[in-house]
Amino acid sequence: MCKGPGPACSGKVKTCEAGKDACVTVVGESSTKGHHSVNTYKGCMKFSDCSSGFVSTTMGPKDYMVSNTRCCQSDGCNRDSLPAPPNNRTENGLQCQACITPFQETCSETHAARCVGQETHCIYFAGNVQAGIINPKFATRGCATESACYTKPGAEVPSASYLYLLSRVECLPASQPPGRAE
């Protein structure tokens, strides 16, 4: 169990609490208003909520998150480090409505986000962020890889920095902006 800056962290092996039957490693790279960081999280989660692989989400040119996740089901199986996720920022011609609202469960003020890399879907996530003593609400819309759509409402989803408790998950294929040749 550990959380830390950079593409690796190490901590003590601990017994998972009841109902959490998998070990997870998440290596994430994120940018918030242009503040860039790479973080690693290792811990326990429900195997049914855990999806291994690459996820990319973009809310704007300076607001994005990419992560590599690995779920496994044996003692200490998340000891090894994971490679940092690929971060392809090349626009792919698709767009989604985007917004980020901390401390609120709805997100209405939107702008168009240009999707990058393998992002082919538009997501809307809302819920709470586990951030220590307080668990503020959040809502966000933007571009995402199809892999982000596997998340179910009610899931606890770790990112490399926080644990998100999702109450609302919507996912639709992204569209070409109007006026562009197909």
pLDDT score of 172 more than 80: yes
Average pLDDT over residues 112-127: 97
CB neighbours of residue 107 within 10 Å: 20
Cα–Cα distance for residue pair 51/147, rounded to 1 Å: 8
8 A C-beta contact, residue 23 and residue 44: yes
Phi, psi of 75 (to 5 degrees): -55, 125
User: CA angle, corner 68, sides to 86 and 18, nearest 5?
Assistant: 175
Cα–Cα distance for residue pair 87/57, rounded to 1 Å: 11
Whole-number pLDDT of residue 17: 94
Cα–Cα distance for residue pair 70/128, rounded to 1 Å: 23
Whole-number pLDDT of residue 179: 64
Record the pTM: 0.91
Average pLDDT over residues 22-43: 94
Sign of the alpha-carbon torsion through 139, 142, 147, 149? positive
Cα–Cα distance for residue pair 137/63, rounded to 1 Å: 18
Average pLDDT over residues 77-83: 94
Whole-number pLDDT of residue 178: 72
Q: Are strands 2-5 and 35-45 parallel, antiparallel or unpaired?
A: antiparallel
Model confidence over 138-158: pLDDT tens digits? 999 999 999 999 999 999 888
Annotated domain spans of the chain: 2-173
Q: What's the longest Cα–Cα distance across the chain?
A: 56
pLDDT score of 182 more than 50: no
Consecutive H or E run containing 74:
none
Residue at token pair 């409505």: 97
Nearest to 111 by CA among 136, 147, 143: 143
Whole-number pLDDT of residue 42: 96
DSSP β-bridge partners for residue 38: 29
